Structure 1
Amino acid sequence: MLDNKEEKKSTGRSLIGWLLYLLVIIGLAYLIVTFIGQRTKVSGPSMQNTLHNGDNLIVDKLSYRFHDPERYDIIVFPIKFEENTFYIKRIIGLPGETVQVKDGYTYINGKKLTSDIYGKEVMDEPGIAEEPVKLGKDEYFVLGDNRNDSTDSRDPDVSVLKKNDLMGRAWLRIYPFNKFGLLRHK
């Protein structure tokens, strides 16, 4: 039979063990959210018909550390003028390219972008892309899939993005459950 002193030691060790376990779990969760992935929620219609208001996504924050973003990747980035708020858009223009919106269509280096199956509507407003936008070596031009209801690189408040502006690549839809799965980027 344990005496009162030994019982307190045993309880103390058990409590310390649980606290260490909890600290390890909190530390791992912090590392995952900071460096690997993060949950985000779609708000608004700018990415319809690909993503819808209320969709919950996991953002891959790791892959762009090993390779560059590609055309049609769905990316997440912070809004410059609103803290803790993010935009979700699709990469259209890549570093070194010239992007322009003419007669409602996207042109890359003077050629109409015909492989863009996501933005099916003719754009009403070219914004800053009315004139050719030359992208620097680390710059990207993004558009929402719902082109006429999207604040994207055509808007001077968003403009072109630098690679270090990108939080990551939208990777997995986790809600609604009937649409659970990997997101199509190509």
Structure 2
Amino acid sequence: MDFYRSEDNNKLRQIVNWIVDIVVVIALAWFLVYAYGTQIVIAGHSMLPLLASDDVVLMDRLAYDFGNPDRFDVVVFQREDQKMNVKRVIGLPGETVQIKNDEILIDGEKLKEPSGPGRISLAGLAEKPVKLGSDEYFLLGDNRDSSEDSRFANIGNVSRGQIQGKVWFRMMPFIKMELIRSK
């Protein structure tokens, strides 16, 4: 019998295959946008010269699902007031951070920054040694003299749970479009 080979059955199969393909493509697109396409607008000049006010960057939400932030990563974290901020990881869990004589000390040793942003004239809370807990990070802006960061009580040490993801791409302005890499 040609009942199973009917043309109607073949058209139905094509339509179902087409619908499944569309659903898979939409699901994949949603996943990629959710995971790697969260847009963050930079507010202020605390990350100069790397990022300027009103730059639009993309955040990788999955970067730290299977690992932890590394020193010098540029991360997005949620402040206590629910605002999102972008800063650079300087101190890692368990370390002691201090700013002394305009230099950053990690466990008493001078931090060697690959392309240092310069001197730090205000040590804030890090004037005295700051011991980081087992899930705490010390974050600083690249523009150290114009950054509200872990040196100040309203930010302080940032817990791992506050870190939302890693900045990986600047998409605007278009003339400055580039991958953002750790130092």
TM-score range, shorter chain: 0.7 to 0.9
**1:60 and 2:60 equivalent?**
yes
**1:150 and 2:147 equivalent?**
yes
- CA shift digits 1:92-136 (9 cap, x unpaired): 00111100011121100001112252422x212111111101111
Equivalenced residues, count: 166
Q: Which amino acid aligns with 2:99?
A: V
Uncovered stretches (5+) of structure 2, i.e. residues with no partner: 1-18
Give the structure-2-normalised TM-score: 0.81
SS at match of 2:175: helix
Match of 2:8 in 1: none
Q: Give me the whole-angstrom Cα distance separating, in 2, the residues matched to 1:118 and 1:172.
A: 21
Contact 2:39–2:59, Cα closer than 8 Å, also in 1: yes
Instruction: Map 1:1-186 onto structure 2 (within 5 A).
Output: 25=26, 31-32=31-32, 34-81=34-81, 83=82, 85-120=83-118, 122-186=119-183
Q: Which amino acid aligns with 1:173?
A: R
Q: Give me the whole-angstrom Cα distance separating, in 1, the residues matched to 2:74 and 2:36.
A: 17
SS at match of 1:39: strand
Measure how far apart 1:49 and its partner are. 0.4
- CA shift digits 1:126-176 (9 cap, x unpaired): 111111011111111000000000000001110011111101000101011
User: How many percent identity over aligned positions?
Assistant: 41
Q: Which amino acid aligns with 1:152?
A: D
**RMSD after superposition:** 2.4
